[in-house]
Structure 1
């Protein structure tokens, strides 16, 4: 892990950009974190829209976690996104998705599989390598949480990565059928957000996925509004969920 920038922020948070091989990422840590008092870690996922485009939303959540709750938080650029090399197959799947949505047609399973499954296969090992590097840094320790989307990446991580103790998911309906079976293997505590009027989401599919999770502790928060209308108070609700399980 090579740090490429360091920026002290005004709320007692240090922001550092890094690269891990070809993977760019950002780490936020409370300045109070130390070897003797390491900060729990939250991995922040996001859709494949590019880290720079998503930065304001990601940084807002990460800074809140660090300043108000003493968590470290990190995110990485997804494969095929941002400045990383493009995948021809993924670009075609995205084009097919856009075409179906513009035409008001159902998004077929073949489009969802082509769009999501290769991303999960590539992204999860990269998240695990990033987690290895982050936990080797002074001032950062477990337990570890994961939050955000793509929800299928979070599902796979919750199944295969024992260091993740709790997860907060953003419900979405572009979930391959195979991921429902993996969801049944998820046993860690879950906090799931659902926007009831999300124009790009199949509400029933999101509810079916929540029902499939095998966790004994799972909570669904459904709020009125579209995709980007998550109420501000849910940020603190999610932070308190992680505080219960990571501290």
Structure 2
């Protein structure tokens, strides 16, 4: 892992850009020198790690005493995409706009993205936990499909917060029952891109003994900011 820049922000958080082989990422850490828990924060498929809503959540979380890391996995952000991936994205946008069936197009795009992203996130986690000042346990926040696979395959994930999406690949819908870590599931009741019933069915399928569903009115990007405070309390209970 090579750090390429460092910036101390107004809230005392230190933001550092890094590369790990071909993987670009950002690490935010609080001003304290003591070892702190780590939260992996993943954007939805394809969005860049510099997406403003993610950066704001990361800064707020780091200011609360966590190390927070995100990466642009393969096919995300500015990393190269194949012609097939670009076509699948265009087809998916068109299908949503016209009301065409989207399941098979979604599978062709997001299923492979998850498969390629998980190894890179686990490699990044290995490198992050080797850094001074970062300890365990490890939490996860963000993209539901990726989070399901990580929670099932990596025992270091101790708690997870998912931004609810009814659309997850079939493989992750099947894996949901294997998720057993404490879970906070955020649902936007009027999400135009994620059918409500699918999200509710997915929540019901999770195998966690402790799982909480927070539902709010509004569209896909309308999650209220007070949910960040509730998420902070959730991670405090399980990671500190």
TM range (shorter): over 0.9
TM norm structure 2: 0.97
Tell me the CA shift for residue 228 of structure 1: 1.2
Find the aligned partners of 1:98 and 1:62 in 2 and give their Cα distance.
Answer: 28
Deviation string for 1:28-66 (max 9, x for gaps)? Answer: 001203xxx3010000000212223x1x21221111112
Find the aligned partners of 2:97 and 2:152 in 1 and give their Cα distance.
Answer: 34
Find the aligned partners of 1:171 and 1:44 in 2 and give their Cα distance.
Answer: 14
**Structure 2 matches for 1:199-218, cutoff 5 A?**
199-218=192-211
Structure 2 equivalent of residue 49 of structure 1: 47
**Structure 2 matches for 1:53-132, cutoff 5 A?**
54=51, 56-67=52-63, 69-108=64-103, 110-132=104-126
Q: Is the 8 A contact 1:18 1:24 kept in 2?
A: yes
TM norm structure 1: 0.94
Find the aligned partners of 2:112 and 2:236 in 1 and give their Cα distance.
Answer: 33
Aligned length: 239
Find the aligned partners of 1:153 and 1:106 in 2 and give their Cα distance.
Answer: 23
Q: Is the 8 A contact 2:30 2:62 kept in 1?
A: yes
Q: Secondary structure at the match of 1:49?
A: coil
Q: Secondary structure at the match of 2:224?
A: coil
Find the aligned partners of 1:100 and 1:174 in 2 and give their Cα distance.
Answer: 14
Unaligned runs of 5+ in 1: none
Tell me the CA shift for residue 164 of structure 1: 0.6
Q: Is the 8 A contact 1:40 1:143 kept in 2?
A: yes
Q: Is the aligned partner of 1:40 residue 2:37?
A: yes
Deviation string for 1:64-97 (max 9, x for gaps)? Answer: 1121x21110000121122211122222221221
Unaligned runs of 5+ in 2: none
Find the aligned partners of 1:7 and 1:15 in 2 and give their Cα distance.
Answer: 5
Find the aligned partners of 1:130 and 1:87 in 2 and give their Cα distance.
Answer: 23
Structure 1 equivalent of residue 141 of structure 2: 147
Q: Is the 8 A contact 2:15 2:27 kept in 1?
A: yes
Q: Is the aligned partner of 1:197 residue 2:179?
A: no
